[in-house]
Amino acid sequence: MNLLGEIREAIKGFYSLAVGMGVTGKYFFRPEVTVHYPRKTVDNVSTYSGHVELQPGKKNPDGADCIVCGTCVRNCPSGCLTLEVLELMEENPDLEKKPKKIKKLKALIYDYSYCSLCGQCIENCPVTALGFSQHVYWAEFDRKAIKMDLVARLKDQLNAKKEAM
Amino acid sequence: MTTETLCGDFYTHCFQAEQDKEHEGRLIINMGPQHPSTHGVLRVIVEMEGEYISRAEPVIGYLHRMHEKMGEIKTYHQYMPNMGRVDYLHALAWNWAYIGAVEKLCQIEVPRRAEFIRVITCEMNRICSHLVWWGAYLLDLGAFTPIMYSFDDREQAVDLLQMITGSRLTYCYYRFGGVRTDINDAFIAGTRDFCKLMKSRLPMYKDLVTDNYILRKRCEEIGVLPLEMARRYGATGPVLRGSGQKYDVRRAEPYSVYPELDFEIPAFPEGDAMARYRVRVAEMEQSVRIIEQSLNMLPQGDFMAPKSPKRIKPPKGDVYFAVEGARGKIGVYIISDGSSTPYRLKLRSPSYSNLSLFAELAKGTLLADAVSILGSLDLVIPEIDR
Amino acid sequence: MKTSENLLEGLDICAQTRCRYEQCGCVTAVFLDQVQLRAAASRLFEAGYHIEDVTGVDFAEGIEVIYHFDHFDHPVDYPARVTLRVLTDHESPEVPTISDIFSGAGWHERECFDFFGVTFSDHPQFRPLLLPAEFDQHPLLKPEKNRESLYAFLGACEPVKPVKGERYHFEASVEAPVEAQKTPEALASSDTGQSRSEKA
């Protein structure tokens, strides 16, 4: 390559550089777009699907509507849900008939570390007792700490709500 | 080479054993598996002749999760979330490939509205994927600024996708016979704004990067891939289109409502890293076009087929379904034995074929150019290893 | 472009099933003898096909190795996916390599070895790829009781030629192939039934 060509190449290079610098220069005066967590948080958490949780029931405002059918447990791809069932005898048994057993939800153990947030449990629940939470800023140091009982969590939530009222 | 000097693992030994007699004593080094330019855990063993690569061999499998075995154990519904994890950058294309294969097997009808929603979200995801590639590729080449711009734009798209899918990266949104949630007016308005934004940003990208002299020096005539070689290796996607072949599954094997949409298949005949770069940037433009058209054509109706089965038990038989992902042809091959789990499930990942040609492509190039070539192949390691 | 049927004409084909694209995504699925595999692959290569994948399936009769090929320039309404199938036994599974014809098959064949233990003879770089080198199991092999018969799956597509039992490398020990049930004429005209009764 001759000298003239070299110079032309260099000018081209510098021109492309100047154009690029022009772009960055323009954007330099644009307002900041990043959000500095935790001092500020993003405003679209409401659309995010966090971990699975029991929803306050429509029929049963003090707990969940869960009918202990086990559909969520069967449909979970990673087996992160475990049902603990409390079997009670009917309170006022009809003496002529056999006493009925009533199944009640004792605990729903949920291992968040295995959950892939696919929503199969929520979609398949016949009474829509499950839902996604908006509990997104959740971090723990210990893997065991993110295994929890959803029934206890719901109870805490309802108690907190009552206290606030 | 004597046994005393042998070091390294099984693959290094094999690589050393294949060394030519006359090349004995040439330096053999490992690039990766923690090298930043390998985008994850890819390892490339290279034999160096000074600064030039005389032989290379990619070593993969560090992120192998045996998705195909999982497919044989889980039911058809339970396997869905796996698809978001195969290729995390274009998760919705993998969603679609799997869902589409099962729908074809069971002959499930999908409502028109759902098809359009799938097109919109899948193309949006494609733009996200290309934006990540664009930023990361330039980062490999030593330009730090562009990734800031691309992630700014990607954030807008991811926020929109979060609005309807609930997740930001590993989507599990498509369902047999439709999609999980309907799109709302806020999403449609936001998507229109995003299309406008992308249209103004793409010329800016051109000024900032594509015309940049340094970038062109690092991409042009680097890693020239002849079309014949691309065919021999079964390369697809932008890698193939960068060699001049206008092949796109959306046109070649039309699925969903793509035949009704008007878009072009960008192809550049040069075959170098720059051609692959241009294809992807042009594809973003086409994706914006597709999204705008789909939004205009979006019909009212169901987003989920009313008769979509709760339990999938396909008839006996096999099915191959391919979709166009951001990296090429994604194929899902299912053999069903009539039970609720597949008898065999094969995932054909495009990066796998695209990477396999690297050994031949890198021969005789500079080590620094090999980084450029690796980047231009747009590798997603989880997809390669599956 | 030649149609995929003409393409493989003259080869010794064990069974050919014409598939409906709408149903199974491929146009022709051909069951080949191992000896014919390389010849078929060369013809496909010359006709401008590219390799999509090589994979295996574990059946009761043996391990079936499946090759998918596709074409770049086929007409829009005529997708050109061609499937080749060969069968190899469980004891010493071995299939000739096609990696010198389609370079891309090299990695797929290595993957197939990892998952099924199928050896591809004359492969230039035959070593584990996805699984660790010291891992000597093949995860996609099924336990014997879970293996299904190959014949049950052959019937899924419309058969063009009847399956000729003696060309397989295995003993066709199935009571009634689904295919033969569907086409009694084919059964009568071919020597399938005869050869099976002889073996029995």
Distance from CA of B258 to the nearest CA of A (A): 27
Chain B residue numbers with beta carbons less than 8 Å from the beta carbon of C103 are 229, 232-233, 356-357, 360
CA distance C35 to B206: 54
When scoring B319, B353, B377, B383 by the number of chain C Cβ atoms within 10 A, the one with the most, hence best to mutate, is B353
* Amino acid identity for residue C145 in this structure: K
Higher pLDDT, residue A62 or B149: B149
Tell the residue number behind the tokens 């054993």, with chain if given.
B17
State the angle between helix axes of B185-205 and B273-297 in degrees (0 to 180), rounded to the nearest 10.
150
Chain B residue numbers with beta carbons less than 8 Å from the beta carbon of C52 are 234, 322, 329, 331, 348
- CA B26 to chain CA centroid, nearest Å: 35
Tokens matching residue A122:
């929520």
| Nearest residue in chain B measured CA to CA from A46 | B163
Does residue A13 contact residue A7 with C-beta atoms inside 8 Å? no
Chain A residue numbers with beta carbons less than 8 Å from the beta carbon of B159 are 44
Chain C residue numbers with beta carbons less than 8 Å from the beta carbon of B343 are 57, 148, 153
Q: What is the mean pLDDT of residues A11-40?
A: 86
pLDDT attached to residue B305: 82
Pairing of strands A130-132, B27-31: unpaired
Angle at B337 between CA B336 and CA B341, to 5 degrees: 65
Structural domains of chain B sorted by starting position, each given as residue range(s) with its CATH number in brackets: 67-354 (1.10.645.10)
- CA C115 to chain CA centroid, nearest Å: 16
| Nearest residue in chain C measured CA to CA from B240 | C72
SS3 letters for chain B?
A: CCHHHCCCCHHHHHHHHCCCCCCCCCEEEEECCCCHHHCCCCEEEEEEECCEEEEEEEECCCCCCCHHHHHHHCCCCCCHHHHHHHCCCCHHHHHHHHHHHHHHHHCCCCCHHHHHHHHHHHHHHHHHHHHHHHHHHHHHCCCCHHHHHHHHHHHHHHHHHHHHHCCCCCCCCEECCEECCCCCHHHHHHHHHHHHHHHHHHHHHHHHHHCCHHHHHHHCCCCCCCHHHHHHHCCCCHHHHCCCCCCCHHHHCCCCCHHHCCCCCCCCCCCCHHHHHHHHHHHHHHHHHHHHHHHHHCCCCCCECCCCCCCCCCCCEEEEEEEECCCCEEEEEEEECCCCCEEEEEEECHHHHHHHCHHHHCCCCEHHHHHHHHHHCCCCHHHHHC
Burial zone of B363 (CB within 10 Å; 0-12 exposed, 13-18 middle, 19+ buried): middle
Length of chain C measured in residues: 200
CA distance B276 to B274: 5
Where b means 16+ CB within 10 Å and e means fewer, B267-299 reads: bbebbbbbbbbbbbbbbbebbbbbbbbbbeebe
For the beta carbon of residue B201, count every other beta carbon within 10 angstroms.
Answer: 19
pLDDT attached to residue C154: 65
Look at residues B91, B165, A72, B235 and name the one whose alpha carbon lies nearest to residue B99: B91
Q: What is the mean pLDDT of residues C74-99?
A: 79
Does residue A137 contact residue A96 with C-beta atoms inside 8 Å? no
Contact state of C48 with B320 under an 8 Å Cβ cutoff: no
Contact state of B231 with C140 under an 8 Å Cβ cutoff: no
Pairing of strands C82-88, C28-32: parallel
Tokens matching residue B188:
């449609």
Does residue B51 contact residue B367 with C-beta atoms inside 8 Å? yes
Q: In what order do the strands lie in the sheet with C49-59?
A: C49-59, C62-71, C82-88, C28-32, C13-18, C158-159
Look at residues B211, B225, B235 and name the one whose alpha carbon lies nearest to residue B270: B225
Contact state of B80 with A44 under an 8 Å Cβ cutoff: no
Range with lowest mean pLDDT among B234-248, B252-266, C122-136, C182-196: C182-196
CA distance B46 to B55: 6
* Amino acid identity for residue B179 in this structure: V
CA distance B152 to B161: 15
pLDDT attached to residue C170: 32
Does residue B43 contact residue B359 with C-beta atoms inside 8 Å? no
Dihedral angle computed from the Cα positions of residues B195, B197, B198 and B200, in that order, rounded to the nearest 10 degrees: 130
Distance from CA of B242 to the nearest CA of C (A): 14
Annotated domain spans of chain A:
1-30, 45-164
Does residue C32 contact residue C42 with C-beta atoms inside 8 Å? no
CA distance B226 to B271: 6
Contact state of C102 with B234 under an 8 Å Cβ cutoff: yes
What ipTM did this prediction achieve? 0.85
Name every residue whose Cβ is closer than 8 Å to that of residue B116 and which is 6 or more positions away in sequence: B257, B294, B297, B298, B299
Per-residue DSSP letter, A147: E
Tokens matching residue C54:
């090589």
CA distance B280 to B286: 10
SS3 letters for chain C?
A: CCCHHHHCCCCCEEEEEECCHHHHCCCEEEEECHHHHHHHHHHHHHCCEEEEEEEEEEECCEEEEEEEEEECCCCCCCCCCEEEEEEECCCCCEEECCCCCCCCHHHHHHHHHHHHCCEEECCCCCCCCCCCCCCCCCCCCCCHHHCCCHHHHHCCCEECCCCCHHHCCCCCCCCCCHHHHHCHHHHHHCCHHHHHHHHC
Does residue B115 contact residue B256 with C-beta atoms inside 8 Å? yes
Tokens matching residue B318:
């096999």
Distance from CA of C59 to the nearest CA of B (A): 10
pLDDT attached to residue C46: 83
* Amino acid identity for residue A103 in this structure: K
Per-residue pLDDT of chain B (386 residues; tens, 9 = 90+): 444 555 778 888 788 777 777 777 788 888 878 777 777 788 888 888 888 998 888 888 888 888 989 888 888 888 988 888 888 889 999 999 999 999 888 888 889 899 999 999 999 999 999 999 998 888 888 888 888 889 989 998 999 999 888 888 888 889 888 888 888 888 999 999 999 999 988 888 887 888 788 888 888 888 888 988 988 898 998 999 989 888 888 888 888 888 888 888 898 988 888 999 999 999 999 999 999 999 998 888 888 888 777 788 888 888 888 899 888 899 999 988 888 888 889 999 999 999 988 988 888 888 888 888 888 888 888 888 88
CA distance B327 to B240: 10
Q: What is the mean pLDDT of residues C113-123?
A: 87
Superfamily of domain C4-164: NADH:ubiquinone oxidoreductase Nqo5 subunit (3.30.460.80)
**Residues 204-243 of chain B whose Cβ lies under 8 A from any Cβ of chain C:** 229, 231-235, 240
pLDDT of residue C167 exceeding 50, the answer is no
CA distance B98 to B172: 11
Tell the residue number behind the tokens 């890693």, with chain if given.
B223
Contact state of B331 with C134 under an 8 Å Cβ cutoff: no
Where b means 16+ CB within 10 Å and e means fewer, A25-40 reads: eeeeeeeeeeeeeeee
Tell the residue number behind the tokens 């065991």, with chain if given.
A144
pLDDT attached to residue C16: 65
CATH number corresponding to A45-164: 3.30.70.3270
User: B73 CB near a chain C CB, below 8 Å?
Assistant: no
pLDDT of residue C171 exceeding 70, the answer is no
pLDDT of residue C179 exceeding 50, the answer is no
Chain B residue numbers with beta carbons less than 8 Å from the beta carbon of C53 are 234, 331, 333, 346, 348
Name every residue whose Cβ is closer than 8 Å to that of residue B20 and which is 6 or more positions away in sequence: none
CA distance A76 to A98: 35
Burial zone of A4 (CB within 10 Å; 0-12 exposed, 13-18 middle, 19+ buried): exposed
Annotated domain spans of chain C:
4-164
Contact state of A117 with B167 under an 8 Å Cβ cutoff: yes
Tell the residue number behind the tokens 């004891």, with chain if given.
C91
- Measured in degrees and rounded to the nearest 5, phi and psi for residue B187 equal -65, -45
Distance from CA of C104 to the nearest CA of B (A): 4
**Residues 32-61 of chain C whose Cβ lies under 8 A from any Cβ of chain B:** 45, 48, 50-53, 55, 57-58
**Mean pLDDT over each residue of chain A, to the nearest integer:** 83
Chains near B, with 3+ CB pairs < 8 A? Answer: A, C
| Nearest residue in chain C measured CA to CA from B247 | C72
pLDDT attached to residue C176: 34
CA distance A23 to A90: 75
- C128 preceded by cis ω (within 30°)? no
Look at residues C44, C41, C38 and name the one whose alpha carbon lies nearest to residue C95: C38
A20: three-class secondary structure by DSSP: helix
Look at residues B124, B110, B168, B138 and name the one whose alpha carbon lies nearest to residue B308: B110
Chain A residue numbers with beta carbons less than 8 Å from the beta carbon of B149 are 27
Does residue A94 contact residue A60 with C-beta atoms inside 8 Å? no
